C-alpha cells in the first residue's frame, strides 16, 4: 500500500544547513537533483519503506540500494543519469535512512527486501526483471535476493562489496576494523545539541578522504534528523541485531561466484575492501566470466569520489546487458 507519494522538481536535498548558499556546488550535481523524481513510502509488514523513483514506468527496471547505515540518497545524484533509459528505484533498507525497521535484520530478511519493494512498486509487471545495483553491504543483501529469487531479476551489479582472501581479511580485523553490519543493538543512539556537533561525528567506514567533499556533507546531513532541539542519526540500533558471523565474510567471495545469473563487479581502484588481489581471488574461485571494472581514483565510497565515472560505468553495463537479451514488451 502506497501511503505517501510526492513528485518534486527540486527536492529539499540542498539545504543551507549543509550547503550554505550553494555557490560551490557543481552544475552537474544541481542539475541531477532537478531531474523529476517521485518520493514515497510503501507499507510492508506494517512498516514504512522509503524510496525514490525516476524515469518512465514503461522502461526497463533498475533497483538500487546502499551500504550499511547509509541511505538511498547515495544514488540520488547517480540515478538521474540513468533516468532517460530506465525506470529507476532507489530504496532505503529497513531501519536505515527513512525506512522503518521491520522484522529481523538477518541476511535472509535483507534479501527478501528486494522482492518486497519490487512487488509493492510493480517492478515485475509485464514480465520485467529488474536489474539490481547495490553498494557494499547492500551488495551482499542483493546476492541473497538473487539466490532466493533467481528468476525474478535480470542481474546484479555489485559495487565495492568487501571481498578479501581469508588471510587478508583477518589482518584487516586485527587492525581493529569491523565488518559491515557490526555494532551493538542495545547501545542507544547519541543525541547532539547542534548540527555542527553531529556533523563532526559523521565518518565513513572504512575511513577515507573523498574526491568530492560536498557529497560527504550531503550524505552526512541526510543521515540525521532533528529530534526536538537536538540532532540524532536516522538509523535504528536494531539494524545491528544480526549474527554477523565471521564466516559470512570469509565465504563472501565463493557466494558471489556461486550466485546465479548475470553479475558485474564495479569497485574503486583504490578501495581497501575490493583490491586487485580481490579480483584475482574471484577468478581463482571460478568467477573468470564475471566482468570486473575498476573506477580510477575511487575508493570504497566510489560515488563520493568519482560520481560521474561511476554513473558512466553503471550506464554502460546496463546498455550492454540490454543488447544481450530482448526487453519485455508492455501490454
- Measure CA of the first residue to CA of the last residue in the chain; give whole Å: 23
State residue 105's pLDDT score: 84
Radius of gyration of the chain (CA): 19
Residues 6 or more apart whose Cβ sits within 8 Å of residue 93: 65, 66, 99, 110, 113, 138, 141, 239
User: Average pLDDT, stretch 303-330?
Assistant: 87
| Confidence band for 162, pLDDT divided at 50, 70 and 90 | very high
- Calculate what percentage of the chain has a pLDDT beyond 70: 92
The predicted model gives 168-186 an average pLDDT of: 75
pLDDT band at residue 87 under the 50/70/90 scheme = very high
Exposed e or buried b per residue across 71-109, where buried means at least 16 C-beta atoms within 10 angstroms of its C-beta: bbbbbbbbbbbbbebbbbbbbbbbbbbbbbbbbebebeb
pLDDT at 85 over 80: yes
Instruction: Report residue 153's pLDDT band, with 50, 70 and 90 as the boundaries.
Output: very high
Q: SS3 for 91?
A: strand
Where helices occur in 175-275 by DSSP H, the ranges are: 195-201, 213-221, 246-250, 252-258
Asked if the model's pLDDT at residue 9 lies above 50, the reply is no
pLDDT at 175 over 90: no
pLDDT value of residue 104: 80
Q: Does the structure show a pLDDT above 60 at 84?
A: yes
Tell me the average pLDDT across 112-132. Answer: 97
Q: Regarding predicted confidence, which is higher, 246 or 28?
A: 28
CA distance 49 to 3: 10
- Our measurement of the distance from residue 59's CA atom to the centroid of its chain's CA atoms, rounded to an integer in Å, reads 21
Average pLDDT, rounded, for the chain: 92
- Predicted confidence (pLDDT) per residue in 58-72, tens digit: 999 999 999 999 999
Amino acid at each position: 500500500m502506497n501511503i505517501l507519494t510526492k513528485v518534486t522538481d527540486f527536492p529539499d536535498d540542498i539545504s543551507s544547513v549543509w550547503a550554505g548558499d550553494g555557490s560551490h556546488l557543481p552544475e552537474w550535481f544541481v542539475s541531477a537533483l532537478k531531474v523529476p523524481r517521485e518520493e514515497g513510502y510503501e507499507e510492508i509488514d506494517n512498516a514504512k519503506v522509503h524510496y525514490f523513483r525516476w524515469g518512465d514506468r514503461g522502461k526497463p527496471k533498475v533497483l538500487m540500494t546502499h551500504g550499511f547505515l547509509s541511505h538511498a540518497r547515495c544514488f540520488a545524484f547517480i540515478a538521474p543519469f540513468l533516468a532517460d533509459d530506465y525506470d529507476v528505484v532507489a530504496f532505503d533498507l529497513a531501519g536505515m535512512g527513512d525506512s522503518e525497521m521491520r522484522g529481523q535484520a538477518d541476511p535472509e530478511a535483507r534479501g527478501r527486501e528486494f522482492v518486497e519493494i519490487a512487488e509493492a512498486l510493480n517492478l515485475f509487471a509485464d514480465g520485467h526483471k529488474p536489474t539490481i545495483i547495490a553498494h557494499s553491504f547492500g551488495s551482499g543483501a542483493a546476492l541473497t535476493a538473487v539466490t532466493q529469487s533467481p528468476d525474478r531479476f535480470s542481474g546484479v551489479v555489485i559495487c565495492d562489496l568487501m571481498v578479501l582472501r581469508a588471510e587478508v581479511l583477518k589482518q584487516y580485523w586485527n587492525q581493529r576494523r569491523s565488518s559491515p553490519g557490526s555494532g551493538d543493538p542495545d547501545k542507544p543512539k547519541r543525541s547532539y545539541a547542534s548540527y555542527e556537533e553531529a556533523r563532526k561525528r559523521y565518518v565513513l567506514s572504512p575511513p577515507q578522504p573523498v574526491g568530492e567533499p560536498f557529497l560527504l556533507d550531503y550524505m552526512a546531513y541526510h543521515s540525521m534528523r532533528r529530534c526536538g532541539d537536538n540532532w540524532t542519526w536516522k538509523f535504528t540500533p536494531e539494524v545491528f541485531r544480526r549474527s554477523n558471523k565471521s564466516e559470512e565474510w570469509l565465504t563472501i567471495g565463493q557466494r558471489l561466484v556461486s550466485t546465479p545469473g548475470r553479475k558485474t563487479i564495479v569497485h574503486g581502484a583504490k578501495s581497501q575492501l575490493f583490491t586487485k588481489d580481490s579480483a584475482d581471488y574471484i577468478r581463482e574461485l571460478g568467477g573468470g566470466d564475471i566482468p570486473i571494472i575498476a573506477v580510477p581514483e575511487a575508493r570504497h565510497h566510489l560515488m563520493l569520489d568519482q560520481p560521474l565515472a561511476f554513473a558512466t560505468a553503471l550506464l554502460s553495463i546496463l546498455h550492454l546487458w540490454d543488447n544481450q537479451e530482448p526487453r519485455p514488451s508492455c501490454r
